[in-house]
Amino acid sequence: MGDQAPPTLEQLARQRLLREEDLTISILEGLPVGLFQEMFQEAFNDRRTNILRAMVSAWPFPDLSVRSLIKDSDLETLKALLDGLDVLITDKVHPRRSKLRVLDLTGVDHDFWRIKAETHEDDCSPQAERQEQPVEVSPNSGVKKRFKVVIDLGLIKTRFNQCDWYLLQWAQQRNDSIHVCCRTLKLWDSPVFAAVQIFKMINLDCILELILSHWSLEFMVQLFPYLEQMRKLHTLELVGIREPLRSTASAEQEWISMLLSQISRFPCLQNLSVHHTYFLTGCLEKWLRCLKTPLKTLSIAGCRLSQSDLDYLSQCLNIRELNHLNLSGVELSDSCPKLLGVLLERISSTLQTLELEECEMRDCHFNAILPSLSQCSQLTVVSFCNNNISLSVLKNLLRHTAKLSKLIYEKYPAPLECYEGLRILKDKFELLCPEMLDIIRAERQPKKVSFCTRTCLNCFHCCFYNLEVRLFCLCP
Ligand SMILES: [Zn+2]
Ligand SMILES: [Zn+2]
């Protein structure tokens, strides 16, 4: 709006430097360290590949971390970064001030980029990549590698994205100097041979997070010899695992046992997600019993759980330190309402996020969890959308959550009073929402709170109400 502050002298200097590439590259060696970080960010945003290349090879910190903005279209930017590293590898010119050892291309950070000059949460080799020391001992070759490139990889069927593939090829050709450190690996409905091809290109003991999506059980078991080598895995996500096409019941049972035994062999597993997967029903106890360490996250979404599963869940020791619980899409309508209350009570001192969307919960379930919910004083996120709750019970729920002072994000279902058969009573919804917000406001100022109806079966939209936005279904 024209009221922006005028650029500072430093910004003007940086802009000038970016425009004059040759000049900038020639003075990089003498550039004050404090200017590097912001210059790099601006060069990155402007895709000044020549400057990026030169800055990487003159980088005055041990780590350079770039959030994964490098999508397919940014192959040129990635090439520039790797070319910069190439200068250091070949030692043709070793810029005096370069301290770079780790190039981090993962998307784990929420900031656009950062420099980890002091702290380092590296799980692969805690002290190794400081200063001039080699970064990694490769488990396969015993060779110490000088540089590490940290990445997340995803394979969809047989396809990599262009950047990932380029990077893997590039690193293969520099196998003596580069350690590719893959932190998150996602394999989406891939053939076994393609998965094995990647396993052979990376160190499996660097992987912290593995997501297997839309695999068929009989093919998934063929990956187990490799999974065994993922000794640092802390997060396992299984999504949409399919029944085998042709198999006997006994073979299938054996594969499931193999899977459980595999899971029991991850010594650091803390986060387990099983979504839309058919074989959890009736054997949750086996799954949770086999874990070596207590879980921090348990997410079971879109799965069917039996009464005995829920029974076990409410007693399970391996979830006593749970931070995150998601049971969205697990039908609880016929379950004993008390179980959920018992479960919450057991984890009340550690629980931070609770997601119970589309669980077919009724008033009796909400009433049963209220006493223990009040004790969950660490909760920052709750989500109860798409459940069946009456206005009076919803108000009571809000009186309880209003007292949870750490909540920053809360989602509630519209009460049953907002429906007439399949029709959503929009006026009623609009009228009730402010009233419900006031219940929270009586105790604290909500940060992010929303109320939502089910999807209207006429127009396929829902009604939504939060502090800023009001949306209504399209029906007249
Ligand atoms: Zn590594
Ligand atoms: Zn509608």
Ligand nearest to C-alpha 147:
1
459 C-alpha vs ligand 2 centroid, how far in Å? Answer: 4
318 C-alpha vs ligand 1 centroid, how far in Å? Answer: 28
327 C-alpha vs ligand 2 centroid, how far in Å? Answer: 27
395 C-alpha vs ligand 2 centroid, how far in Å? Answer: 25
Q: How many helices (H) and strands (E) does the chain have?
A: 16, 20
pLDDT-derived band at 135, boundaries 50, 70, 90: low
The two tokens of residue 381 are 């996120």
What does residue 123 show for φ and ψ, rounded to 5 degrees?
-95, -10
453 C-alpha vs ligand 2 centroid, how far in Å? Answer: 11
Helix (H, G, I), strand (E, B) or coil at 368: helix
pLDDT-derived band at 35, boundaries 50, 70, 90: confident
What does residue 437 show for φ and ψ, rounded to 5 degrees?
-60, -40
Ligand nearest to C-alpha 182:
1
The mean pLDDT of 281-290, rounded to a whole number, is 92
In this structure, are residues 459 and 424 in contact, taking their beta carbons and an 8 Å threshold?
Answer: no
425 C-alpha vs ligand 2 centroid, how far in Å? Answer: 10
Residue 132 pLDDT: 45
Angle between helices 363-375 and 337-346 in degrees, nearest 10: 10
To 5 degrees, how large is the angle CA 405–CA 408–CA 410? 100
Ligand nearest to C-alpha 422:
2
Residue 94 pLDDT: 62
36 C-alpha vs ligand 2 centroid, how far in Å? Answer: 54
pLDDT-derived band at 110, boundaries 50, 70, 90: very low
Interatomic CA distance for residues 282 and 285, integer angstroms: 8
Helix (H, G, I), strand (E, B) or coil at 353: strand
Looking at residue 204, the DSSP 8-state letter turns out to be G
What does residue 300 show for φ and ψ, rounded to 5 degrees?
-125, 100
Reply yes or no on whether the pLDDT at 222 is more than 60: yes
To 5 degrees, how large is the angle CA 349–CA 352–CA 358? 115
Reply yes or no on whether the pLDDT at 95 is more than 80: no
Ligand nearest to C-alpha 171:
1
In this structure, are residues 85 and 124 in contact, taking their beta carbons and an 8 Å threshold?
Answer: no
What is the CATH number assigned to the segment(s) 332-476? 3.80.10
Greatest CA separation for the chain: 76
Interatomic CA distance for residues 311 and 462, integer angstroms: 34
Ligand nearest to C-alpha 460:
2
Residue 324 pLDDT: 97
List the chain domain ranges.
Answer: 9-114, 332-476
Interatomic CA distance for residues 113 and 173, integer angstroms: 27
With 0-12 / 13-18 / 19 or more C-beta atoms within 10 angstroms meaning exposed / middle / buried, residue 427 is: exposed
Q: What average pLDDT does the chain have?
A: 87
Helix, strand, coil percentages, rounded to 5, for the chain: 40, 20, 45
Return the higher-pLDDT residue of 313 and 12: 313
Ligand nearest to C-alpha 208:
1
The two tokens of residue 58 are 């003159």
Reply yes or no on whether the pLDDT at 190 is more than 60: yes
Return the higher-pLDDT residue of 122 and 384: 384
Residue 407 pLDDT: 97
In this structure, are residues 262 and 291 in contact, taking their beta carbons and an 8 Å threshold?
Answer: no
Residue 92 pLDDT: 64
Reply yes or no on whether the pLDDT at 137 is more than 70: no
331 C-alpha vs ligand 2 centroid, how far in Å? Answer: 25
Residue 121 pLDDT: 38
pLDDT-derived band at 231, boundaries 50, 70, 90: very high
What does residue 211 show for φ and ψ, rounded to 5 degrees?
-120, 115
What percentage of the chain has pLDDT greater than the value 70?
89
418 C-alpha vs ligand 2 centroid, how far in Å? Answer: 13
Residue 126 pLDDT: 34
How many other CB atoms are there within 10 angstroms of residue 245's CB atom? Answer: 9
- Ion ligand 2: residues, CB < 5 A: 456, 458-459, 473, 475
Most confident of 30-39, 136-145, 407-416: 407-416
Residue 80 pLDDT: 94
Return the higher-pLDDT residue of 120 and 458: 458
Residue 106 pLDDT: 84
Return the higher-pLDDT residue of 428 and 34: 428
The mean pLDDT of 244-262, rounded to a whole number, is 90
Interatomic CA distance for residues 257 and 260, integer angstroms: 5
The mean pLDDT of 316-322, rounded to a whole number, is 92
471 C-alpha vs ligand 2 centroid, how far in Å? Answer: 11
Residue 336 pLDDT: 87
Ligand nearest to C-alpha 456:
2
Task: Please identify which residue in the block is written with the tokens 């007249």.
Answer: 476
Length of the chain: 476
Interatomic CA distance for residues 294 and 143, integer angstroms: 35
Residue 7 pLDDT: 82
Reply yes or no on whether the pLDDT at 188 is more than 50: yes
> Who contacts 440 (Cβ-Cβ below 8 Å, separation ≥6)?
398, 401, 402, 410, 446, 449
Interatomic CA distance for residues 290 and 276, integer angstroms: 21
Ligand nearest to C-alpha 453:
2
**Least confidently predicted of 70-84, 177-191, 235-249, 297-311:** 70-84
Return the higher-pLDDT residue of 88 and 2: 88
What are 150's strand-pairing partners?
Answer: 104, 181
Interatomic CA distance for residues 13 and 19, integer angstroms: 10
Give the model confidence (pLDDT) of 48-76 as tens digits.
999 999 999 999 999 998 865 565 558 89
Interatomic CA distance for residues 423 and 414, integer angstroms: 13
Reply yes or no on whether the pLDDT at 125 is more than 50: no
**Least confidently predicted of 90-94, 107-111, 209-213, 420-424:** 107-111
Reply yes or no on whether the pLDDT at 349 is more than 60: yes
In this structure, are residues 180 and 168 in contact, taking their beta carbons and an 8 Å threshold?
Answer: yes
390 C-alpha vs ligand 2 centroid, how far in Å? Answer: 21
430 C-alpha vs ligand 2 centroid, how far in Å? Answer: 15
What percentage of the chain has pLDDT greater than the value 90?
68
208 C-alpha vs ligand 1 centroid, how far in Å? Answer: 10
Ligand nearest to C-alpha 424:
2
Residue 98 pLDDT: 84
Antiparallel, parallel or unpaired: β 324-326 and 297-301: parallel
pLDDT-derived band at 41, boundaries 50, 70, 90: confident
What are 451's strand-pairing partners?
Answer: 412, 465
Residue 327 pLDDT: 97
* 223, 283, 303 from 256: Cα distances, Å: 13, 10, 16
Reply yes or no on whether the pLDDT at 116 is more than 60: no
Reply yes or no on whether the pLDDT at 140 is more than 90: no
The mean pLDDT of 372-400, rounded to a whole number, is 97
Ligand nearest to C-alpha 475:
2
Pick the closest to residue 212 from 256, 286, 274 (CA basis). Answer: 274
436 C-alpha vs ligand 1 centroid, how far in Å? Answer: 50
130 C-alpha vs ligand 1 centroid, how far in Å? Answer: 14
What is the H or E stretch that residue 68 is in? Answer: none
Most confident of 73-77, 248-252, 349-353: 349-353
Ligand nearest to C-alpha 178:
1
